Structure 1
Amino acid sequence: MIRERGLSVRVKLTLSYAGFLLVAGGLLLAVVWVFLLRYVPSGPISGDGPFIPNRGDLVRAFVPPAAWALVFLLVFGLVGGWILAGRMLAPLARITAATRKVGEGSLSHRIDLEGPDDEFRELADSFDAMLARLEAHVAEQQRFAANASHELRTPLAISQTLLDVARSDADRGPDPLLDRLYAVNARAIELTEALLVLSRTDRRAFVREAVDLSLLAEEAAETLLPLAEARRVVIETDGDVTPAVGSPALLLQLTTNLLHNGIVHNGPDGGVATVTTAIRREAAVLTVENSGPVLPAPLVATLTEPFQRGTERIRADDTGVGLGLAIVKSITDAHDGALDIVALPEGGLRVTVQLPRRPRPAARRPTVVT
């Protein structure tokens, strides 16, 4: 939901403080004015004796200082209100910073608000407790996925070995059912490995190193060249040295998944898959673009969800397990990067990954205004 940008709470509080002080000062001056009017005659005073001012003299003597007093109260109220509002809203700034970090995927961040047990402290403690429960729940899900994937690897590997032995038996003739079981088992192994990679990247359990994205692009192209030739897809790579920081293995997995996606979801009669790397300001950019049929925008928006495929692009042979782009998004998020998927007007996709060229500095606690 798009909303118009309004005044900040600090500005509203400042204006409220200044307005209240101005009204209070005006009322005070009005009371003084009414009090003085009771003892000052309305007309001129004639006769000998000491000078007695009339109301005209009172207006000339009282109104200018009163106006300057109101101006002073207005300035004082604005400056003082701005300072007081900043001190009052300092805990809210820390809570806002914490919500942004959580939105970026940092569930381990806590507010740890100090100070008296007031409404802000109660809100911060409730938020920290919610984050603790959410982090524990997510960690439990990740451990379950990792443990289940790990436990499934052994029986699937044994089944694959038995199927290899059965298929290589010279006394056994061609068996379509055996070939079908072999393909299903191989697909289950791919799914298990993909789930294991996905659970590891979600935990960010890897060491960050210097890596060149252009070399990873070339390695992925060489690895997938036989698949591309079988599908009559031309692989094009372009880009100079593109340094980044991250896990070489995971970033190679990311590049391979993107290029594999560009090959298997290309046009039915072949096409082109292009991998380019570049440096843009403080980011290392990897772009994979492929030809293919035109995709609707609502479908493109769901492609990074697990087990979600572009149904119009599915082919019967080797289309993957539906976790390719989900793994790409997970690896990108784990490297504090940004992923952008755009459907091309002429057909196909353009996937852009932006990664930091240097490690992100450690998170600093927001400064509290005192």
Structure 2
Amino acid sequence: MDRAPGLSVRLKLTVSYAGFLMLAGVLLLAAVWMFLLRHVPERALLVSSDTPTYGVFPVRSNLLRVFAPRAAAVLAFLLAFGLVGGWILAGRMLTPLTRITNATRLASAGSLSQRIRLPGRTDEFRELADAFDTMLARLEAHVAEQRRFAANASHELRTPLAISKALLDVARTDPGHDTGQLIDRLHAVNTRAIGLTEALLLLSRADQRSFPREPVDLSLVAEEATETLLPLAEKHGVTVETSGDVTPTVGSQALLLQLATNLVHNAIVHNLPEDGTVRVDTGVRPETVVLSVENTGEKLTPQQASTLTEPFQRGTERVHTDHAGVGLGLAIVKTITHAHDGTLTLTPRPAGGIRVTVELPRTTPV
């Protein structure tokens, strides 16, 4: 924003300090003068020791002639002292603000690693500096995550495009190539690219929280997602068990259904080769509602589990399966959960597999 030049805060504080000191000085001198007027008579009888004559001496007028120049000198001293002292005091008071301003300018120029780290005990300036440092740390982490996401998304999108180009080049150089096989492979590649694009759009929509909110029963959402994926579970030989209570919350019906669908889908396709199980539970806590999806499968360490919600992160074995997906399933779950002011927890099971818990704010059903 373009602004007209103005006085600095330090100069304004200096003038304010000096003005207050001058006002205090004027009031003090006025009080002294009023005190003198009350106890000094207007005229006094003067008796000469040399001659036996009497005269009247104007006491107040003489007192005014003596008092006025001294009062002016005092006021001049107070003005100079107030300006110099106010300038120094304002500078010391505004030193933290100067550091905050410099850090802000560096941040606006792209240097997000800069921190204020204002020393001293807690006061308003230090609370502001600490809040700014916290904001910079979160912003730096967010920017780094977005850069990684953009790089990974570019890589993931480039792969199907490169495959499509290679297939078309082969078809152009080899007219006798099997057209049906080429179409099938192009269809599979394009389907994967479309799925990745739709996942990216959904992730962006959830991250921006640009969706209407309405009352949602999380148990019904989980039940719908489970019923939709039952054919996939039967195909993989996975048994799905469901249980739970009414779990009222507020949010987007479509996004929460996508969340539950992603969790159940991951639990089915990343399971044991045979006789796997998936358990879907919903429950109510004093202030939250909970959706948990637990499955059997490969053993994971806590470190491996913590990385699964990052975009395009997949387990080693998962990449080579027919249902490797686009690597955004749990990333979308994480984003939707945070967009609904909830928490997402991934806990590896000792016997293998993982338990994913989504906790959302609870509402009172109407």
Q: TM-score range by the shorter chain?
A: 0.5 to 0.7
CA distance 1:246–1:177, change in 2 (3 Å): same
The counterpart of 2:199, out of the listed 179, 194, 214, is 194
* Structure 2 unmatched runs, 5+: 1-121, 169-176
Aligned twin of 1:335? 340
Match of 1:316 in 2: 321
Q: For 1:174 and 1:296, how far apart are their aligned partners in 2?
A: 46
> Following TM superposition, by how much is the alpha carbon of 1:239 offset from its aligned partner in structure 2, in angstroms?
1.0
Once the two structures are overlaid, the 10-residue window that deviates more, 180-189 or 121-130, is: 121-130
Alignment of 1:95-110 (within 5 A): none
The one of 193, 212, 218 equivalent to 2:217 is 212
Question: What is the letter of the counterpart of residue 276 of structure 1?
Answer: D
In percent, how many aligned pairs have the same letter?
60
- Distance in 2 separating the partners of 1:128 and 1:297: 32
Provide the TM-score with structure 2 as the length reference: 0.53
Q: How does 1:242-321 map to 2 (within 5 A)?
A: 242-321=247-326
List, as ranges, runs of 4+ consecutive aligned residues in structure 1 with deviation greater than 4 Å.
125-138
Task: Report the AA paired with residue 219 of structure 2.
Answer: S
Q: How far did residue 184 of structure 1 move?
A: 1.2
Question: 1:293 touches 1:313 (CA, 8 Å); kept in 2?
Answer: no
C-alpha spacing 1:274/1:174, structure 2 compared with 1 (3 Å): farther
The letter of the residue matching 2:206 is T
1:169-192 Cα offsets, whole Å, 9 max, x none, are xxx977333222211111111111
Match of 2:354 in 1: 349
CA distance in 2, matches of 1:207, 1:270: 40
- 1:75-114 matched pairs, under 5 angstroms: none
- Kept in 1, the 8 Å contact 2:311–2:328? The answer is yes
Aligned length: 223
Which residue matches 2:125? Answer: 121
Does structure 2 conserve the Cα–Cα contact (< 8 Å) formed by 1:266 and 1:290? yes
Cα distance between partner residues in 2 of 1:248 and 1:317:
29
d(CA) in 2 for partners of 1:350 and 1:301? 12
* Residue-by-residue CA offset, 1:76-115 (whole Å, 9 max, x unaligned): xxxxxxxxxxxxxxxxxxxxxxxxxxxxxxxxxxxxxxxx
The one-letter amino acid of 1:318's match is H
Task: Output the TM-score relative to the length of structure 1.
Answer: 0.53
Deviation digits for residues 192-227 of structure 1, max 9, x if unmatched?
111111111111112221111111111101211221
1:134 is displaced (CA, Å) by: 7.7
The structure showing larger relative contact order (alpha-carbon pairs under 8 Å, at least 6 residues apart) is 1
What is the distance in 2 between the residues matched to 1:221 and 1:174?
A: 38
Amino acid at match of 2:272: G
- Residue 234 of structure 1: how far off its partner (Å): 1.6
Q: How does 1:29-48 map to 2 (within 5 A)?
A: none
TM-superposed CA distance for 1:231, in Å, is: 1.2
Matched letter for residue 274 of structure 1: R
Could you report, residue by residue, the CA deviation over 1:249-306 in whole angstroms, capped at 9, with x for unpaired residues? 1111100000010011011124111111010111100000111121122211100100
What CA RMSD, in Å, does the superposition of the two structures yield over aligned residues? 3.5
Cα pair 2:280 2:293 within 8 Å, conserved: yes
Contact 1:236 1:275 in 2 (8 A): yes
Three-state SS of the structure 2 residue aligned to 1:350 is strand
**Residues 175 and 347 of structure 1, relative CA distance in 2, 3 Å threshold:** same
User: SS state of the match for residue 175, structure 1?
Assistant: helix
